[in-house]
A and B are shown apart, each in its own frame.
Chain A
Amino acid sequence: MSAKNLKLIKNPLSKENPITVQVLGICSALAVTAQVKPALVMAISVIVVVALSNVIISLMRNTIPPRIRIIVQLLVVAMMVILVDQFLKAFVYDVSKQLSVFVGLIITNCIVMGRLEAFAMQNKPWESFLDGIGNGLGYGLILVIVAFFRELFGSGTLLGFQIIPESWYAANGGFYYNNGFFILPPMALIIVGVIIWIHRSRNKDLCEN
């Protein structure tokens, strides 16, 4: 893999992160981060959808009339999302129930449309595929970080396994309480805000004026 292609995957992880820098795809991201497992499934679904629809649009890029390109893109993305949704329903039904409408909302996830418009319309299929994988990973990374803190402090578990020792809890004579606030929606926003803060204070050139 050439250095240029490697960059396509590495850049979105930090310097061009879809969530903290490009501000794309926040819509369906935050609601699924109360636990790590749905966040992981969501991240994988988005990686698959972005990568495959990037390839399809890139293959068709010279034949799509510019005036109707949004509708064509939406239809391709919707098709990929239907495939992912049916797959989840068939193999991991409980997670699919937990994600509810948010799988469907991958269609309008700006990260997918954003990459199609900004990258796949101008580049060859292989590069587009890598770009999709990279951006999906960058998105998934933030999702998993947020879910990690929310599940650990909110429920004391990770992926469903108990991490905080049972004997620490006040119910068993200990001193510890779960912080129920982490489970609630506003905390997801605040955690992302803090992630952006840390990320930008380490990369000064990303700061806004």
Chain B
Amino acid sequence: MQDLLNLFIRSIFIDNMIFAFFLGMCSYLAVSKTVKTSMGLGIAVVFVMVITVPINYLLDNYVLKEGALTWISPGFASVDLSFLTFILFIAVVASIVQLLEMIVEKFAPALYNALGIFLPLIAVNCAILGASLFMQGKGFESVGETVVYALGSGIGWLLAIVGIAAIREKLRYSQVPAPLKGLGITFIITGLMGIAFMSFLGIKL
């Protein structure tokens, strides 16, 4: 139990998707103008991540890894399909996003209107594919761990985008030099937020 909690805290604060790995920067920069929309996108990312990363975990362990196919027949022990990783992972992400879009549209029209344009965008959000690829290297032992990791990474991303959106809302009233307005200052503030997040490195887990 404590291990799971550690993993959760670590994936939110220390291995934060944005401040430590710069993943999902494109939508982070494009959709962080107001807190409300960034919250919507953040929730959608958490949602998609919690579903796709465990699916990719199962796929990795039962199809892709060397010797993973032995559950079909012992003769497959030497088959290594790991070169197919990228194409299968991205296919899973894209199809889950498409599926989710249809389900949400049918059963929760209000949520669909709120997330509407962001859902399809998530298919190409590198944070999602990135979480799946990092998961591969971490060697988790159960699906539970993977779910916790995905949830933590998603919440970390949500925290970052809502934080920058709040700062940008305030920033509208400050006098930023014209060439630095918009994109430039957002980069520099993200850098400063990253420095603040680095203080979490001191936490012993």
Contact = CB atoms under 8 A, between A and B. Distances in A.
Q: How large is the interface on A (under 10, 10 to 19, 20 to 34, 35 or more residues)?
A: 35 or more
Interface stretch (B38-46, B67-75, B79-87): B79-87
A186 B25 contact: no
B94 A184 contact: no
A196 interface: yes
A97 to B, nearest CB: 11
A30 B28 CA distance: 14
Majority secondary structure, A binding face:
helix
Given A108-B124, A186-B198, A189-B187, A27 B25 contact: yes
A163 to B, nearest CB: 25
A193 B90 contact: no
Interface string B176-196: 011111111111101110110
Contact of A81 (B86, B183, B185): B86
A107 B129 contact: yes
18 contacts: A26-B22, A28-B23, A70-B94, A79-B87, A82-B86, A85-B86, A105-B129, A107-B86, A108-B130, A110-B26, A110-B124, A185-B20, A189-B188, A193-B187, A193-B191, A197-B179, A200-B178, A201-B179
A82 B83 contact: yes
B137 A101 contact: yes
Given A101-B137, A190-B188, 5 more contacts: A31-B21, A78-B90, A186-B195, A194-B188, A198-B179
Interface centre among A81, A107, A187 (most CB of B within 10 A): A107
A81 to B, nearest CB: 6
Contacts of A86: 83
Contacts of B182: 208
B37 interface: no
Nearest to A200: B179
A207 B191 contact: no
Majority secondary structure, B binding face:
helix
A190 B191 contact: yes
Interface string B9-27: 0000000000111111110
Contacts of B34: none
Contacts of A206: 179
Contact of B91 (A75, A85, A110, A204): A75
A101 B94 contact: no
Contacts of A198: 179
B173 interface: no
A196 B188 CA distance: 10
Nearest to A25: B26
Contacts of B177: 197, 201
